[in-house]
Structure formats: structure tokens, C-alpha cells
Chains A and B, each alone.
Chain A
Amino acid sequence: MIDVIVLGGGIVGASAALMLAQKGQRVALVERDFCGSHSSGVNYGGVRRQGRPLHQLPLSQRAHQLWADLPGLIGIDGEYVCCGHLKLARSPADFATLQAYATQTDGFGLDLQLLDQRQLRVRFPWVGDVAVGASLCPEDGHANPRLVSPAFARAAQRLGASVHEQAEVTRIEHDSRQFQVHCANGLHLQAPWLLNCAGAWAGSVAAQFGEPVPITSAHPAMLVTEPLPVVMTVSTGVEGGGIYARQVARGNCILGGGRGFAVDPCRARPGQVAVLEILRNAGELYPFLKGAQAIRTWSGTEGYLPDHEPVIGPSSTQPGLLHGFGFAGAGFQLGPAVGEALAEIVCTGASRQPIEAFSIRRFQA
């Protein structure tokens, strides 16, 4: 007997499974490949609140609390460091945008610190001269997604969730009492609740239940250097978009920027345009990278809705069906809190964090 079937073993689905198992629910987590092998395992690793739209901040703030006790939650530290996130401004106009954001988000607990060019030079001398100012969120940070995301699924399993990997869900029916879920490998599960956490592939489940969403896939381009002397004390980004970068304890710098392309529905590559852009332009933001070597590039498959907001919450058509997908390149940090919100809906009928803004109803005219 199962209470909840979670479709998708990314950080969102695995967190939901973990939180449900913690609350004593009988959960089955079903994953086509390996848990945490898609977006959740290949992302940049930014664990940041800074820069998110205001209505994401309560969830993001809750996620921040959950990340704070990562070892307690999943049993490993996942290389999570709370070292700060520095958002750089390349022009006075961009700096004004950062100032405005700091004002708007006052009271959400981000504790943003605005740095003018002189302060920036003093505190972060490794930042290139193109930056005229910055906003620092001191308790944002970064983590290793390859370790963190699979560990959520393992933690759920330890608490009794059954985890089915290499099980692609190919058919779902609802027989007025339960969901009947069939997988390509012959696995058949049934339960009164179904959580659609299928990432970039979640649209077909929503469509099947009569609530199609205009989801598309995109592929952020990533690149990593050989190990370098450690100079970056914070994770960085740029106002208005551009190249973002962080450095891990081992010394490798991870950079992102631009978009790649799909090789097939499940795999993507960063593409030479994005890679060369990063190699050519990273130097002005991060001068210490000059002459360093990039050893590997990669990308992933991420779901985007036109407003770049996720879909989180109950289906508008099918009782028992919950959605949590479409995180537009920013769901790694949010994942644990989204999982918790979905688990709360199952157990208590409502999420403690406000999630109305993410309702699937917004696509129904």
C-alpha cells in the first residue's frame, strides 16, 4: 500500500519524498534514469536567494533554513558553503537596479549589502574593473549538485520511501479512487496521490489531465577549469545576466553563461558559441582566469514557463494530483522547500509558505 507516488527523482521530487517519509507517509519515488542525474545533478550549484522575484522569497527563505541543516536532512554536507553571493553591476544603471532590489526586499531577511566601486575593490580585489559596484548577500552560497541531489533520494529511502530508478513512467490513469502508474520496465504502482515533479518533462502529465502548460526546455551552458589557487571568496553573478562563476575548495572554477542545445529530449550540450563567449569574456569580470584552462563543459535540460516562474501546487482538474516543476534555471536552491510545501499539502491540505503565485491556473484563460 502506498499513499503517494512521486514522479521524478530530481531535487524537487526527492525532497518531497523525503519530507513525506518524515511525516510517516508511504511513498514511492519513480525516476526514469538515476535520481538527481538531470537538472538537479548537473546544475551550476548556486544556492542563492538574491535576485529572485519577491513572491519567491518566502519559499526561498524557507529553503535557506533547510539548507542550513543539510547534514541533518540528507546525511552529507554536499560541499555546501554559505560564503555569500556577490551580484556585480557593470554600469551605474545596473547598480541602481541592485539598489532598488535591496530596497524592495528589505524585510525578507536577505541582509543585502551594497558596495560601491571602492568598497568592492577593497573587499573583493579579484573582481575585474568593469564592475562599478555590487550587492552582497552574505548568507547565500553554493554546493555540489552531483552529491546533494542524489543524497535527497537516498535519505528518503533510508526513511522508508521506495525508490525506483530506471523506471520511466509511460502511462498514468485515475480510476476515480487512485492513480494507476505504469512504467516501461513493467513496474505498476497505485496510490491516491501523485506528485508531478518531472522537471522539463512535466508538461505531458499536466496535459494528460486537461491542463496543458506552455513549457519549453532550455540548456544553460556550464564550464569548469582545472584547479587554480583559491581566490574567489564568494559565488558571483552579474546584474542583467552574463557570466556567473564560483570556485570550489579544490580550486576548480565553475562558470556559466549563455545557452546550449539539445542533443535529444534528455541530453544537452553547451555549444561552442556559449563556450567561446565564456572563454573570451570571463577575463574582464574575473581577470585571474587569464591563461587558465577549461577542462570540461556541459549542460542540462531545464523547464521554463513563459513568465519564468514555476508551477507549484494542486492540479486544477484532478484531485490528488500536485505539480512542482518548471523552475527556469533556479530550482536547485528552492527544491527542498518546494518538496516540503508539496508534502504539507498532502498531509495537511495546505502549504505553510505562500504558493498561490505559482498556481497552474495562471495558464487558463
Chain B
Amino acid sequence: MKPVVIVGAGPAGIRAARTLLDHGIRPCLIDENLRAGGQIYRRQPENFRRSARQLYGFEAGKAQAVHHTMDELAGLIDYRPHTLVWNAEDGRLDLLDNGRAQSIEYSRLIVATGATDRILPVPGWTFPGVYSLGAAQIALKYQGCAIGGRVAFCGSGPLLYLVAYQYAQAGAKVVAVLDSAPFSAQCRALPALLRQPLTLAKGMYYRAWLSAHGIPVHQGATLRQIDGDQRVRGIRWGEQSLECDAVAFAHALRSETQLADLLGCEFAWDSLNRAWLPQRDSAGRSSVEAVYLAGDGAGIMGADAAQMAGECAALALLEDAGSTVDQRRREALQKQLASIRRFRQGLETAFPFPEHWAAQAPDELMLCRCEEVSAGAVRAVVDEGHWEINRVKAHCRVGMGRCQGRMCGLAAAEIVAERSGRRIDQVGRLRGQAPIKPLPFGVEVQP
């Protein structure tokens, strides 16, 4: 019998695995990381001894619950950590585990691949000492390291205040927080945000804590440039500047959708996420038979929603496979998810996408680090009459390198849209190709 497979051991994937097991199905759970937990509840290495409270703050209880669930599950399911899914084809996933290639057939599949930071580059972003917000948090959460001695946090989104707070709590010197969203936007968003009062309260707490501890928070402040030579020396915004030796920046998150793409899922433009997302029904069924989507990999909703969506998708899968499931439970979950989605709309109002970014990006700005393609090079291709993102990629290599556009693709699309006078949803979607992440020559192939 082919197993039910779950890709991604974050909150969504773990909850899905738990739900399946509770209904008598022993799934295979595959995750690229060494330890389960996903992004938010990323676990420190085995020999590290920091407390959950230190690592996860307010979320300590939830983190411990997720880890506990996973510890229970590990022996009961087919759990495969440190295993990358690099391709999907013909009812089978292709895996890479320590230089060994393998494949696994599935009867049904839950894709819970999560998210990464959304990066809008600024001049100087390639200096050593510049990290994405998520990466800065991973350094702290996973390794107990700070990215620098004097750190500036820039960009926008809830993670901005959270990570700045976590750094300050851990004893790092936070020199400033630059939020590109104006205070007025956050006021406008209040009604929608009140749908999740607890989450809102936490966000306000971080913000207030930072101010109370004398950390300057600048709202409506767009990072213009990162200065440096061998490494970061300072930042500039508006007419102001500041010295620092590290910068963490990002504008919210983007979904990891390559696997859904390789699986053939239909995508649609989602204006809330300002991204192309694999389509799913309210229970998590994708457009492809037997493939389900859950968590931030199909649209950013956060960890609580990821867990609910993981359970929902598992229930839908069970139902499709002929099991009886608790309908009331499912309806309740779907209702909660809808409410979180409205909260998410509020977040988008509070931390709006910086619409002017593309117009302001100077020609010399390096957009694509892997292939070293500047904003000017992309504009030159657009000026030749090209406007479709895959076509632009073919002409100037933007998004063609090691990251396959996972980091630069969204920014490149913004530049193409702005230059060609089209709406962002009209320039097309960067098509995914295997491998999802690089594959080494000399792989050992297991039958």
C-alpha cells in the first residue's frame, strides 16, 4: 500500500500527521530540517539547553505542545527528517537525503511547505552583515547567535517588531526599528485586527516594550540604503542615517510554492498576499486529485492557522479516503480559519506593501544575487518590449540561479510590472523547475 505523505514538519504538517494517526493512518512525514518544528517553532540542536520561554517567549506553551506532539509521533509514523523533496512526478516524490537519491510513491499527499521572507532589495543589501528578518531570528532561535553587535531592523510586517524584541530581550543592542508602514495605516487596520485581540495585544506589547526600553521606532520610514565596505557600517532612510554593524530586513513573508507547482496545482493571483498561490478549497483540497495544501505554503496566515489548516486538510483527506470524520470539528476549524483570514486582511492594511519600491529602485541595485542581475538590466529587457516574467528571465537570467527566483522573483516581477506599465498580476508567474533546491553530481541513487 502506498502511504499518505506529508511534506513539511512545521505546525501544519505536524498537526496533519497527528490527525491522520488519530484516525488510524500512519503517514510518512518528510522534512528538510534536522529537527521538526518548522519555522516558528524551530528547535535548537539536541545539545543546546535554553528554555522554551527564552526561545519562544509568549509562544513557549504552543511550541512545547507542538514539539511534544512530534516526539510522540516520531516513533509511530514514518518520519524522515533531513530529507529534501526536490521533484514531484507521476504520483511520486523524489527525495535527497545525505547525498542519496530516493523516491516515494504516495496515495495522497499533504503539502505543508511553509514560507520564507519576502525580500525587496535596497542598495547595499548584499554586504556581509545583512540578513533577512527570518534568518536573523533563526540565528538566534537555533544557534543562540546574534547577527551583529549593533543591529537595525527594517522593512515591515509583524515579524519586524517580534524579532527586534527577541534580539533586545536576548541582550543584543537594537539601534533602531524602521517600519515602512506609517502609523496611520496601523490605526486604519485596527478594526480588522481586533478580530484576534490576543495576537493584536502581543504585537502592541512588542512595540510598546521596544519604546519603553528606549529603542527608537521610526514609522513610515523606508530603508533607502545600507552603507558598508567589507561589511555593514550603517543605514540611511529619508534624510537620516545611523551607524550599525548588522541589518535584518524583509517585507512580510512569501509562500514556498515550488512543490505545488511541480505537482501541477492550478495557481491564481491572490491580491492579499500579492502573490500567485496554489488554489485550494476551504478544506485544503488542491486542483489536483489526492493533493492537499495546508499552512503558510498556500498563503500566509501564521502558525495558529497553519495548525488548523493542517488538521482541516487531514480531515478532508480522510473523508475523501472513505473515513468518517467529525463534521462539527471541521466546520469549527473552517470558521476559525475564515476569521484569521480577516485578521490577516487587517495585517495587510497595517503593514501595506510599499507600492513605490519598484519605481524608486535605482538601476544599479542588484536584484538577483545568484546571477548578478541589476534592476537596470531587467528594465533594459522590458524596454526591448518584453513584459512576461519568464521571458524576462530568459533574456537576462533574473531568477535563473541557485535560488531559482525564490528570493528575487517577486522583486523582479515588481520591476517588470512598474517598467512595462502593467499591473503586477499581469506579468505572469515564474514557472518552477526541478530541482526545488540544488542537487549534487555524484548522487547515489537508491532503487
Contacts and interface: CB of A to CB of B under 8 A. Distances in A.
Contacts of A269: 89, 433-434
A272 B87 contact: yes
Nearest to B438: A293
B101 interface: yes
A297 interface: yes
A292 B99 CA distance: 12
Interface residues of A, number: 30
B440 to A, nearest CB: 6
Residue from the set B87, B438, B439 with the largest chain A CB neighbour count within 10 Å: B439
Interface of B: 87, 89, 92, 94, 101, 103, 264, 370, 384, 386, 388, 391, 394-395, 400-402, 404, 433-435, 438-443, 445
A294 B438 contact: yes
A289 B440 CA distance: 9
Given A290-B442, A294-B440, 10 more contacts: A150-B394, A150-B395, A270-B434, A276-B443, A279-B441, A279-B442, A283-B442, A291-B440, A292-B440, A295-B404
A114 interface: no
24 contacts: A34-B386, A146-B395, A147-B395, A150-B394, A226-B370, A263-B264, A269-B89, A269-B433, A271-B89, A272-B89, A279-B439, A279-B443, A280-B442, A283-B442, A289-B441, A290-B442, A291-B440, A292-B440, A293-B438, A293-B439, A293-B441, A294-B439, A295-B404, A295-B435
A275 interface: yes
Contacts of A270: 434
A298 interface: yes
Interface string A257-294: 00000010000011110011001101100000111111
Contacts of B391: 34, 37
A279 B440 contact: yes
A272 B433 CA distance: 12
B408 to A, nearest CB: 14
Interface in A285-332: 289-298
B404 A296 contact: yes
Main secondary structure of the interface of A (DSSP, over half): mixed
Interface of A: 34, 37, 41, 146-147, 150, 154, 225-226, 263, 269-272, 275-276, 279-280, 282-283, 289-298
A275 B395 CA distance: 24
Contact of B433 (A37, A283, A291, A298): A298
Contacts of A291: 440-442
Nearest to B101: A276
B398 to A, nearest CB: 12
Nearest to A149: B394
A293 B99 CA distance: 11
B420 to A, nearest CB: 14
Contacts of B440: 279, 291-294
Contacts of B400: 296
Contact of B394 (A41, A283, A296): A41
B103 A272 contact: yes
A293 B439 CA distance: 5
